[in-house]
Amino acid sequence: MIHAWSSYEKYAWGQDELQQWVATSLDFNKNYEASVLETTIRVLGGLLSAYDLSGDKVFLETAQDIAARLLPAWNTPSGIPSKRINLAYGNANNPGWTGMREKVSWQILEQGSLNILLYLKDKGPHVPEEGGESTSSPIYTFGAMGDREMWEISMEGLRSLIRRTTPSSSAYICEKNGKSLSDKMDELACFAPGMLALALYNGPREAEKYLTCRRGLAWTCYNFYQTTPMKLAGETYSFPAGEDVSVDTSWNILRPETIESLYYLWRITRNKTYQEWSRNIFQEFERNSCIETGYVGHKSIKTGIKDKYDAKFLSCRDA
Among this protein's residues, is 284 annotated catalytic? no
Q: Which of 38, 130, 208, 318 is the catalytic position? A: 38
Q: How far apart are the first and last CA of the chain?
A: 11
Among this protein's residues, is 27 annotated catalytic? no
Among this protein's residues, is 235 annotated catalytic? yes
Query: Angle at the Cα of 160 (from 155 to 162), degrees rounded to 5?
Result: 100
Collect all residues with Cβ–Cβ distance below 8 Å to 118 and sequence separation of at least 6: 132, 140
Best CA proximity match to 114, nearest among 80, 148, 138, 88? 80
Q: Is the dihedral of CA 45, 46, 49, 54 positive or negative?
A: negative
Q: Give CA separation, 162 vs 131, 132, 171, 177, in Å.
A: 32, 31, 6, 15
Which strands make up the sheet holding 236-238, listed edge to edge?
A: 184-186, 236-238, 246-249
Q: Which of 65, 147, 175, 206 is the catalytic position? A: 147
| Cβ atoms < 10 Å from Cβ of 217 | 28
CA distance 231 to 284: 6
Q: Which of 175, 186, 244, 257 is the catalytic position? A: 257
Q: Which of 110, 186, 235, 260 is the catalytic position? A: 235
Among this protein's residues, is 243 annotated catalytic? no
Which positions are annotated as active-site residues? 38, 147, 235, 257
